[in-house]
Structure 1
Amino acid sequence: MMQDVDSPIAASRLDTKIMSPAIGVEVAGLDLTQPLEDSQVQELRSLLLKHQLLVFRDQALSSAQHIAFARRFGELEVHPVFPHDPDYPELVLLGGDSTQPGRENLYHSDVSWRAEPSMGSILRCIECPPAGGDTIWCNMVLAYENLPHHIKDVLHELEAVHDLLPGFIDRISEEERAAIRERFPAQTHPVVRTHPETGQRILYVSSWTTHLANYIETGFFRGMPELQSGAHWLLQYLVDQARHPEYQVRLKWQPHTLAFWDNRSTQHYAVQDYFPSPRKMARATIIGDRPY
């Protein structure tokens, strides 16, 4: 059953502060180190559907508490490439240090290369640089809504391929690549997906997208392979929609800040402007369902 994000069930009884007109709300009035009541979990779910990004300040969670909070919203994945917390494989460790810059500075939706991509991610700041290291989120519902009508007409049948391997090729040894490819084959998802809870239409291509799968099999382009080059232009145009400031919010991290976002309807970008200062983050990722 679809939920109206503006219905009374989506209204919050918590102390909330809008972060931007497009996306994001800061939430106060909860201690996330303590177990949540079912009603609080439902309230946060409703807020997430309405605002797409929830930010909590001054939440000094341990790894165990981080995992416990995330599990209230679904089963958690184990990432096949990123380093993990030694005690909690569901908790990936992100960020750079004085020898290695962070590499999350591209617009993306987490693990869209899975057959069932993430529902949401919960990222905790462990150590922040003295300046910089912000994260940008983008509302991809707005990105779709504001596309020209003639572009929307082209997209309704299109599918795109999302692939893990190109983005991680230098982190996976040659000996391991065949096994990774077998476990995680490239996935084809609709260019415009439907949010399974709100029914909203979402532009769903990002830096994980390698190409459009069926460009010359659909619509105006059917049976005209000489127009294949247009697929590259169209994909780049669509990927670039996440860069519009009008669809974005930018979060300045502080230690013990927690961000919880809907991976189905957003993209994010971790700004790499702090090297060689350290930036240490931990992320739990909630398993979702297959896009349609």
Structure 2
Amino acid sequence: MKVETLTCALGAEISGISLAEAGANDDLAGAIEDLLLKHKVLFFRDQDMNDAQHAAVARRFGELEDHPLTTSVNGEPGIIRIWKSPESPPERYENSWHNDATWRECPPMGAVLRCIECPPVGGDTMWANMELAFERLPDRVKEDIIDLRARHSMESTFMAAKPIQDQLAMKERFPDPEHPVVRTHPVTKAKALFVNAFTTHFTNFLTASRVRYGQDYTDGSGELLRYLISQAQIPEYQLRWRWTPGAVAIWDNRCTQHYAVMDYPPCVRRMNRATIMGDRPF
């Protein structure tokens, strides 16, 4: 196994192994898990895997879950298809910085994304290290946000284009959760900034220490939230990965955000993803 660090912030490319073997090899799976905790996102080129092997690798990290609005692969309910073509609707839901599904009470632990077909140029994915983003905040900001909590919702993102009856049904199925603004990693205990495109507002900002009269906290809280969300956009916290057929990415959703660059239409881009169940953020 060869491990090549990709940026100063996060990411490593792993070569010299068959990732499919990790589904049945405890030593290899353990080594990959250790590398994921260290580098936060791992990349593999030229991996020959089918959907069953893909799911088996992902299950080494935990049980899998489906996305409520995305088609699953036949026979593999833990694998969803993220397929785009020139005939696809002109949706732009992916091109924003986000942790996956923070609109769930227990967002995913991570994901394994496999490229089946991609444009010759474009369609890259970017990741950002949100532990580094928190670490490099000014001390006064870290002190102010350490105990804050925030609401997360799909309502103003990809659900906004759906009919109102669909919106209400999804709202009933997935009530908007409240998560800490600063999340503690359950394994490493490192702290990460945990606000993103799904975050709507702070839920405990209104305190005597922040408010003078009436509602004068509103502008300040909104500006602070926008500032925190913008931290994922800083290049020093990022990496950018160029896809090739057979490439695979595994990322830790608890401490990274990602951004699917929508610069390739009209082209075909076919990706299969296994999403790993997570626990409640704290």
TM range (shorter): over 0.9
Correspondence for 1:16? 3
- Judge conservation of contact 2:210–2:217 (CA < 8 Å) in 1: no
Matching of residues 1-292 of structure 1 within 5 Å: 14-34=1-21, 35-100=23-88, 101=90, 103=92, 104-170=94-160, 172-217=162-207, 219-221=209-211, 225-292=215-282
Give, in whole Å, the separation in 2 of the partners of 1:265 and 1:181. Answer: 26
Give, in whole Å, the separation in 2 of the partners of 1:185 and 1:218. Answer: 29
Going from structure 1 to structure 2, the CA distance change for 1:123 and 1:171 (only over 3 Å counts) comes to farther
Give, in whole Å, the separation in 2 of the partners of 1:290 and 1:109. Answer: 14
Correspondence for 1:8? none
Cα-to-partner distance string for 1:165-201 (whole Å, 9 max, x where unaligned): 2222256443333221111000100000100100101
- Judge conservation of contact 2:115–2:243 (CA < 8 Å) in 1: yes
Q: 1:219 offset after TM fit, Å?
A: 4.6
Going from structure 1 to structure 2, the CA distance change for 1:252 and 1:56 (only over 3 Å counts) comes to same
Gapped regions of structure 1 (runs ≥ 5): 1-13
- Judge conservation of contact 2:118–2:243 (CA < 8 Å) in 1: yes
Identity of aligned residues (%): 45
Q: 1:157 offset after TM fit, Å?
A: 1.5
One-letter amino acid of the counterpart of residue 94, structure 1? I
Correspondence for 1:11? none
Q: 1:86 offset after TM fit, Å?
A: 2.8
Q: Which moved more, 1:56-65 or 1:28-37?
A: 28-37
- Judge conservation of contact 1:96–1:102 (CA < 8 Å) in 2: no
Q: 1:223 offset after TM fit, Å?
A: 7.6
Give, in whole Å, the separation in 1 of the partners of 2:95 and 2:83. Answer: 10
Q: Which moved more, 1:178-187 or 1:16-25?
A: 178-187
Going from structure 1 to structure 2, the CA distance change for 1:222 and 1:42 (only over 3 Å counts) comes to farther
Cα-to-partner distance string for 1:5-37 (whole Å, 9 max, x where unaligned): xxxxxxxxx310011111000011221233431
Give, in whole Å, the separation in 1 of the partners of 2:208 and 2:128. Answer: 28
Correspondence for 1:9? none
Q: 1:214 offset after TM fit, Å?
A: 1.4
Give, in whole Å, the separation in 2 of the partners of 1:40 and 1:171. Answer: 43
Q: 1:89 offset after TM fit, Å?
A: 2.5
- Judge conservation of contact 1:102–1:272 (CA < 8 Å) in 2: no
- Judge conservation of contact 1:95–1:102 (CA < 8 Å) in 2: no
Cα-to-partner distance string for 1:45-99 (whole Å, 9 max, x where unaligned): 1101100001011112111111111111100111111222233222121142113
TM-score (norm 1): 0.91
Give, in whole Å, the separation in 1 of the partners of 2:27 and 2:146. Answer: 37
- Judge conservation of contact 1:217–1:223 (CA < 8 Å) in 2: no
Q: Which moved more, 1:54-63 or 1:258-267?
A: 54-63
Q: 1:259 offset after TM fit, Å?
A: 0.1
Give, in whole Å, the separation in 1 of the partners of 2:151 and 2:220. Answer: 16
Going from structure 1 to structure 2, the CA distance change for 1:218 and 1:92 (only over 3 Å counts) comes to farther
The aligned length equals: 279
Give, in whole Å, the separation in 1 of the partners of 2:213 and 2:108. Answer: 35
Give, in whole Å, the separation in 1 of the partners of 2:209 and 2:180. Answer: 15
Gapped regions of structure 2 (runs ≥ 5): none
Give, in whole Å, the separation in 2 of the partners of 1:42 and 1:233. Answer: 42
Q: Which moved more, 1:214-223 or 1:25-34?
A: 214-223
